Amino acid sequence: MTSPEELKQIVKEKYSEIADQSKEQNETSCCGSGCGCVTIDEAIMSEDYSGLSGYAADADLGLGCGLPTQHALIKEGNVVIDLGSGAGNDAFVARSVVGATGKVIGIDFTEKMIEKARINAEKLGYHNVEFRYGDIEKLPVTANIADVVVSNCVMNLVPDKRKAFEETFRVLKPGGHFSISDIVLVGNIPDGLQKNAEMYAGCISGAIQKDEYLQIIKNAGFENIQVLKNKKIMLPEEILSAYLSMEELESVKINELGIFSITVYAEKANAAIKNNKAEAKAACCGPDSDCC
């Protein structure tokens, strides 16, 4: 069995390799018709960023599975943390909203991605976008610092998702919220897909069942959890056949493989506001009051 640390190393090696490639190379590598190898191409899941304010082509490696900033309710002056920031794509989109008075902190545990993101930020002249090396299971950020957390197709790669969402909760300010795009599963997925290390780095094997994913978020303390986008991912048959037996492949065709890209929104409640409301209700509805 592959340990969590070994899984992290697999992901780090994979994304270090991707950091040295262009978006075009990533989109045509391995899943392209002219290549003899077969693996999951991240571009199958990526969405078009080019129309978004703040978009920087050099920072777009085609690694996402959604547009989390679209649903993030970011405001001017906010502090935003981008988990798994890669070459800086979502961080720069967020920066276009927070403006010069806000701040964006990108966190990634692939050194080459951090280096690439910092070069991109320097070229763009962004001095309020910072990229830090760190593990999502133990974020290099103090508590209660972020107004908003975003992440794009990264949490599924984290072995301990419980810790990852607990850390997300910790770094958010009371009243803050997150918008996260990710890959989840619905129904039984053949072992051949889930256990292959290459698939893990390509976002599938690290994914868990949608219901379990949402329950982890709830258990971390989040409220008002909403799935704002639910998109089925269709993998080409030539990819599936490399990991599945003929019997499994036929079963997938009949039952449909339940791989989905979702964008989830959730809030960290402001305890002070909740307490004030509770106290006001108690005062109004006490035993000597008839106002209720």
Instruction: Kindly state the DSSP code that residue 135 receives in the 8-state scheme.
Output: B
- Paired sense of beta strands 172-185 and 259-267, if any: antiparallel
- What pTM was computed for the model? 0.82
Neighbouring CB atoms inside 10 A of 28's CB total 16
| Cβ atoms < 10 Å from Cβ of 250 | 11
What residue type is assigned to position 247 of the chain? E
Beta strand 223-232 with 259-267 is antiparallel
Class of CATH domain 4-284: alpha beta
Domain boundaries, given as residue ranges, for the chain: 4-284
**Residues 75/145, Cβ–Cβ less than 8 Å:** no
Per-residue pLDDT of the chain (292 residues), as tens digits, is: 678 888 888 888 888 888 877 666 555 443 333 333 445 545 556 677 777 888 888 888 888 889 999 999 999 999 999 999 999 999 999 999 999 999 999 999 999 999 999 999 999 999 999 999 999 999 999 999 999 999 999 999 999 999 999 999 999 999 999 999 999 988 877 776 666 655 655 556 688 899 999 999 999 999 999 999 998 877 777 777 777 788 877 776 666 667 889 999 999 999 766 555 545 555 556 555 555 4
